[in-house]
Structure 1
Amino acid sequence: MAAPLDQLTSWRADWRGLNVVVLGLGVTGFAAADTLAELGARVTVAARTPDAERARILPVIGVDLVELSGDDANDADVVLALGADLAIVSPGFTPEQPLIRAIQAAGIPMWGDIELAWRVRDKVEPAAEWITITGTNGKTTTTQLTATMLAEAGRRVAPCGNIGVPVLDAVRDPAGFDVLVVELSSFQLHWLPTEGPGALSPLASACLNLAEDHYDWHGSPDAYAAAKAKVYANTRLACVYNRRDEATMRMVEQADVVEGCRAIGFSSDTPGPSDVGLVDDLLVDRAFLDERHTTALELASLADLAAAGLQTPHGLANALAASALARAAGASPVAVRDGLRAFRVDHHRTEVVAQIDEVVWVDDSKATNAHAAASSLTAYRSVVWIVGGLAKGVDLAPLVAAHRDRLRAAVLIGAERASLAEAFARHAPGLPVSEVDARETDRVMPDAVRLAARFAQPGDTVLLAPAAASMDQFDDYADRGRRFADAVRQHGEGAADDEHPAPSRDAG
């Protein structure tokens, strides 16, 4: 018989005999099932269209699989019949799904994978410190950059969480880590408690920004903001917030933190005595030094940011946030600088694909919401904008209105083109707008690039910043970005052929 749930706060607690259902067989669902099986729990995964490779491994690790039909009532009956003591919910399940509501109505406790990871974080001792990062945009870059800075400081560090590596995998790594830098999505934060045995207490935390996103999942702007605000709960040393985003400041003001925890602001202007910021072309720290009321420490230069691919306003904000988090964890100014110099932004984040006939082609497929697209658009003077996809319940009309003056033209892609076309007609009348109505994924980006090339003039930037999710036509944002880059390269090869045409058969 397993110990009561409130006593399961260590890898060394008695998990044997605990009957657990894990909902979903994605990356996090599999990691949760594998962890619980290793702990000795009885585990059943319940999933719709489970990944075939992961499903093949489940019997090997002693985990059962129940395939759900997609019929809400039937699925609820199947899961409840398992008699589970605990349910682990994957981020893909929304709070209002009938299956989730049925489990809650039955009184079965529900954890996310992050709560489970926090409870068993001591598998390898000493347990790693946690730094937690969320925000509508910039989470992944800031997580990677913070980890790079800490690695330069000599710390054994793992970026994990929503970034792609499950926290449970990092916790169970036999080598162990000094610090886990954990990217948290709003979905993961939704399921986290802020008090009790499963509540996180990170060393430092940050919400980078708050903008419209995922309202379809959370149900309202307030619910989305409340989920993001959980990142600050019980923080012990530093709550890092964006001084240009009042929502993040309010989150810190209202957070229940450990006594002595400090609020550390970041912004691209001159920093105050508890901030990091910018003075001339230097990133400086006025937070983590004794003489902060009269002195600032130089961390890096704007040239260092440009070399790392962080030259946009959004990139600067990410670099400042990462600097504050790394400094909170003990990184020296030199380690922060060296981390920036060693860092390179991932693909599909304002990545220059090519320059063809004095037109720059930029892949920012990771701009999956309006806030990210706005940051990307702001970085360029004259833009042919490739935009569209799944808007996730967000109205993109304000984005069109705000950036009309920098647009040469727009090329619309995706399943929700009608509302986008209406927004352009209303807020940017007279702007050339074309739609890609290709039904086949293979044709979307070649057609979009062909149309964009017709509009672009020397000095322009053709920018893929969709402001929307990709799953209507692509596997994910990376697939969308790769297809864009391939189409741009094919366009470039065609342009080169036009400059150097093959000899005519009649020549000579």
Structure 2
Amino acid sequence: MTAGASWPVDPAYEPLGGARDLTHRDADWSGLVVEVVGLGVSGFAAAVALAERGAQVSVLSPARSEEITDREKILAILEASVRYGELPAGPSEGTQLVVTSPGFAPSTPYLMAAQAAGIPVWGEVELAWRMRAREGAAPWLTVTGTNGKTTAVTMLESILRAAGKRTTAAGNVGLPIIEAVLDPAGYEVIAVELSTFQLHWSRSISALASCCLNVAPDHIDWHGSFEEYRRMKGRVYDRTQVACIYNHDDPTTEQLVEDAEVVEGCRAVGFTLKVPHPSMLGIVEDVLADRAFVADRQRNAAELCQVKDLGQEGAPPAPHYVADALAAAALARAYGVPPLAVRDGLRSYHPQPHRISPVGEVDGVRYVDDSKATNPPAARASLLAYDQVVWVAGGLLKGADVDDLVAAAAPRLRAVVLIGRDRAQIAEAVHRHAPDVPVIDIERTDTGAMHEAVRAAASQARPGDVVLLAPAAASLDMFASYGARGDAFADAVRALDDDRRT
């Protein structure tokens, strides 16, 4: 199958005025009047890059902190200014370009006013693409998806390094993408993680290969509807040059490839946890096999690695972890990485913190930290990876429905321990779909609640079970981040082990 139709120029998006010809780093950026919205990591990187090239940069920062004040001092040296407080109704007179940080939704009045006035609005990712070298720029291998994108893109980085390439993971993980693009030493290829927030403000990216891992409802409040969220996921495929990688086990991703406008000759390459058809990667007798990037793919396949090579501490890998590995392998193969480097990169890969990370075993019970499972689809994938689970969950559901998650996981649940603001919603779903499963409600809302939750989980678990932190919810009601929540879980498990030893 060949991915979508070849892409036309989009005249509706061509920048106006002084931003029209800014398509590479050596273009004339001097004198361009730019307002940058937000002074977080990506906003700061964008402001510095623009100011260094002589643009007249003003930064609008609703937040103020010690870190942001330090960034302001650096920008002052570059003759860029910072204005604090609520965003104005629209850009200042004379503004030719707005660069927005990904946290600001399209419905933000300032951004709507800029677009209504015909002022182009770019994200940092769009700016980075336009600041690549005119010739010889590192190709991008791009990854998005509701869940698993950080795992897939860092797996891809590991594979590329195993192939001897100078590379980095950037974008929604690792370096801000503009820093990677402008790195003085340069990269041979860049593994780029993209969120829908970033994709919304991008229009001209043309990745060598791209991938959408999966699509499930998320960030509906930011995008306004699931259909718009889905459409933004599909944008990762637009203008792809060599291969659009899709999840054959998630039909939505295949449809997004069909709908994409790509460079002529670009291929659609699927991955599956089943035996692959030609032009796909999949599993053949516990081997990750490539039937896409081989000669005579109707009859041949390349062995990439064994499923057991992906395991952690002797435990078999979760199915969604294997899927992420297949996606990373497909992107690397599209770039031309040989099978042995794929194997070596996946074998040497260490999972990201708080993503199905084993944190210990106490009395024959394994404890696994998947604090990064901040929405129901991510938690569902994690829960379905284990046979018997004591589930630690709860936090900020942000309006998400957990019924399908609980119904799917019900046969595996030994008990459920709930923390956080929206725990009652999860408890109600458990009572509906798994009425015989014990539910323990941790009422305290300070960070010490995690220690109580782990002790409660231990009281319900039996040897061979897994106590799994997969909250299905955001963390900010109780913790500074999902990382802090995962650290608290690991601390509680260590304390439990210490208690058992004394």
Fold in common (TM above 0.5)? yes
- Counting matched residue pairs gives 483
Match of 1:376 in 2: 382
Map 1:434-453 → 2, pairs under 5 A: 434-441=440-447, 443-453=448-458
1:353-502 matches, within 5 Å, as 353-441=359-447, 443-497=448-502
Report the 3-state secondary structure (helix = DSSP H, G, I; strand = E; otherwise coil) of the residue aligned with 1:373: helix
Q: Which residue of 2 aligns with 1:504?
A: none
Please say if 1:6 is aligned against 2:20: yes
TM-score (ref. length: structure 2): 0.93
Does the CA-based 8 Å contact 1:24-1:50 persist in structure 2?
Answer: no
Q: 1:82 Cα shift?
A: 5.7
* 1:197-218 Cα deviation digits (max 9, x unpaired): xx11110000011112111211
Gaps of 5+ in 2: 1-15
Q: Corresponding residue for 2:191?
A: 181
- What's the offset of the Cα at 1:384? 0.8
AA aligned to 1:4 is: G
Select 1:216's aligned residue among 214, 221, 226. Answer: 221
Partner of 1:165: 175
- Partners of 1:432 and 1:284 in 2: CA distance: 42
Partner of 2:117: 106
Q: Any conservation in 2 of the 1:25–1:51 contact (CA below 8 Å)?
A: no
Q: Whole-Å Cα distance in 2 between the matches of residues 115 and 81 of structure 1?
A: 22
> Which one of 122, 128, 141 corresponds to residue 138 of structure 2?
128
Whether the 8 Å contact between 2:421 and 2:477 is mirrored in structure 1 is yes
- Say whether 1:28 aligns with 2:51: no
**1:62 Cα deviation after fit:** 2.4
- Number of the residue aligned with 1:350: 356
CA distance in 2, matches of 1:363, 1:282: 27
Q: Tell me which residue corresponds to 2:11.
A: none
1:202 and 2:203 aligned: no
Alignment check: 8 A CA contact 2:153 2:169 kept: yes
Conserved 8 A contact 2:142-2:192 = yes
Which residue identity is paired with 2:79? G
Do structure 1's residue 240 and structure 2's residue 254 form an aligned pair? no
Question: How large is the Cα RMSD of the aligned pairs?
Answer: 1.6
The equivalent of 2:79 in structure 1 is 62
**Per-residue Cα deviation, 1:352-396 (whole angstroms, up to 9, x for no partner):** 111101111110111111111111111111111011112232111
Work out the CA distance in 2 between the residues paired with 1:83 and 1:51.
29
Structure 2 counterpart of 1:76: 88
How many Å separate the matches in 1 of 2:442 and 2:137?
A: 52
Gaps in structure 1 of 5+ consecutive residues: 70-74, 194-198, 498-508
Is the CA contact 1:215–1:392 (under 8 Å) kept in the aligned structure 2? no
**3-state SS of paired residue (1:4):** helix
Question: Is this contact kept in 2: 1:310–1:316, CA < 8 A?
Answer: no
Give the counterpart letter for 1:405 in structure 2.
P
- 8 Å Cα contact 2:98-2:119 kept in structure 1: yes
Structure 1: how far apart are the matches of 2:467 and 2:354? Answer: 14
Q: Which moved more, 1:406-415 or 1:429-438?
A: 429-438
Higher deviation after alignment, 379-388 or 306-315:
306-315
Indicate if the aligned counterparts of 1:3 and 1:15 stay in contact, CA closer than 8 A. Answer: no
Q: Deviations over 1:100-148 (max 9, x none)?
A: 223333332210011100001117x621011110011111111111111
SS of the counterpart of 2:386? coil
Counterpart in the other structure of 2:262: 257
Q: Is the 8 A contact 1:214 1:393 kept in 2?
A: no
3-state secondary structure, aligned to 1:7: coil
SS at match of 1:80: coil
SS of residue paired to 1:132: strand
Corresponding letter in the other structure for 1:144: T
Identity within the alignment, %: 51
Query: For the Cα contact (< 8 Å) 1:283–1:299, is it kept in 2?
Result: yes
Hey, what's the Cα distance between the residues in 2 that align with 1:174 and 1:54?
Answer: 25
TM-score, normalised to structure 1's length? 0.92
Distance 1:355 1:227, change over 3 A: same
